[in-house]
């Protein structure tokens, strides 16, 4: 089920929201970014990695939303990391005894039984301002920014020409702002796009957390598409964003957009608790 998208970089796509797990091959093991959603898919991924002779050496979660924090026993016991801010947010949101039941309530009922929550969010924060993941494989640069979720990180594997975008630069989802308390989430998101634009010249493949993998022409095109959406949101214009009318998103993305348009400044904690899907 693994698809190679660049030399030594493979993707495993879930049926759930086109969620992409990313495998980067190292010398003896693999870096696994955002492992996936359903238990059987993670088992399948673990088997594929075993066949490749590259068990998971290190795991990484791009941001503190449930669909990026999962793990399965079959993937082994490698250390799992996120940015310091991501890990601190996970601790804050998941440390109380009712946390897993609350997360289960955010997961669509048709798949919740298939999502293993026992290792949810067991990540260690890398020291603040860590610039790369230290492991026995190609250099992986961490581009941390404040968009979509606290401590969100995209990863650049320059040797392979790959940008692992996390929940940025999707071809199927509009930008989801971090409405968990930032003073100006639109500007934060625009600032993150500028950071990604700064590395766009180093890569020719972009892997979003949800959606399809894009080639060289897509990196800048998706940055511009997201920027246009954010400018429209900021100016209270009606965005002519094709993602709002795709078969994939037309039922619920307009609702997310309406919400973002009505509370584009300030915080609304309900956004993260009640909206479906919460990401």
Q: Which residues bind Zn ion (CB under 5 A)?
A: 67, 167, 209, 279
Question: 137 or 249, CB closer to Zn ion?
Answer: 249
Strand partners, 27: none
Q: Give least dist CB 201 to Zn ion, A.
A: 26
Cα angle for residues 77, 92, 209 (degrees, 5° grid): 60
Q: Give least dist CB 235 to Zn ion, A.
A: 27
DSSP string, 74-94: GG----EEE-HHHHHHHHHHH
Question: 167 or 241, CB closer to Zn ion?
Answer: 167
Question: 10 or 21, CB closer to Zn ion?
Answer: 21
Long-range contacts of the stretch 127-131 (C-beta < 8 A, 24+): 127/84, 128/83, 128/84, 128/85, 130/83, 130/84
Q: Give least dist CB 110 to Zn ion, A.
A: 17
Q: 52, 60, 45, 61: which is closest to 25 by C-alpha? A: 52
Q: Give least dist CB 225 to Zn ion, A.
A: 18
Question: 160 or 279, CB closer to Zn ion?
Answer: 279
Which region, left, alpha or beta, applies to residue 151 given φ > 0 means left and ψ of -120 to 50 means alpha? left
Q: Give least dist CB 67 to Zn ion, A.
A: 5
Q: Give least dist CB 159 to Zn ion, A.
A: 26
Strand partners, 191: none
Q: Which residues contact 157 (CB under 8 A, 6 or more apart)?
A: 6, 9, 24, 138, 139, 140, 141, 164
- The residue nearest Zn ion at its CB is 279
Question: 25 or 34, CB closer to Zn ion?
Answer: 34
Question: 144 or 167, CB closer to Zn ion?
Answer: 167
Say if residues 64 and 38 touch (Cβ distance below 8 Å): no
Please state, in angstroms and rounded to a whole number, the distance separating the CA atoms of residues 11 and 16.
Answer: 14
């Amino acid at each position: 089920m693994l698809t190679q998208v660049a030399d030594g970089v493979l993707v495993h796509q879930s049926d759930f929201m086109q969620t992409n797990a990313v495998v980067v091959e190292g010398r003896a093991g693999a870096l696994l970014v955002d492992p996936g959603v359903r238990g059987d898919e993670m088992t399948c991924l673990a088997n594929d990695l075993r066949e490749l002779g590259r068990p998971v050496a290190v795991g990484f979660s791009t941001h503190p939303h449930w669909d990026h924090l999962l793990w399965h026993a079959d993937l082994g016991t490698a250390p799992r990391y996120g940015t310091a801010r991501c890990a601190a947010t996970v601790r804050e949101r998941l440390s109380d005894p009712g946390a897993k039941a609350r997360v289960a309530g955010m997961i669509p009922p048709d798949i919740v039984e298939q999502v293993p929550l026992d290792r949810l969010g067991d990540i260690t924060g890398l020291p603040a301002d860590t610039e790369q993941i230290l492991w026995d494989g190609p250099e992986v640069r961490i581009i941390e920014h404040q968009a979509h979720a606290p401590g969100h990180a995209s990863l650049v594997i320059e040797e392979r020409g790959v940008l692992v975008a996390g929940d940025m630069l999707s071809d199927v989802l509009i930008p989801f702002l971090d409405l968990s308390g930032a003073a100006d989430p639109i500007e934060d998101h625009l600032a993150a796009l500028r950071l990604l634009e700064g590395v766009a010249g180093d890569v020719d493949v972009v892997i979003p957390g949800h959606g399809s993998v894009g080639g060289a022409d897509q990196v800048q095109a998706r940055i511009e598409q997201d920027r246009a959406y954010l400018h429209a949101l900021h100016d209270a214009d009606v965005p002519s964003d094709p993602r709002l009318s795709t078969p994939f998103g037309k039922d619920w993305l307009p609702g997310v957009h309406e919400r973002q348009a009505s509370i584009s400044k300030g915080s609304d904690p309900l956004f993260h608790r009640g909206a479906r899907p919460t990401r």
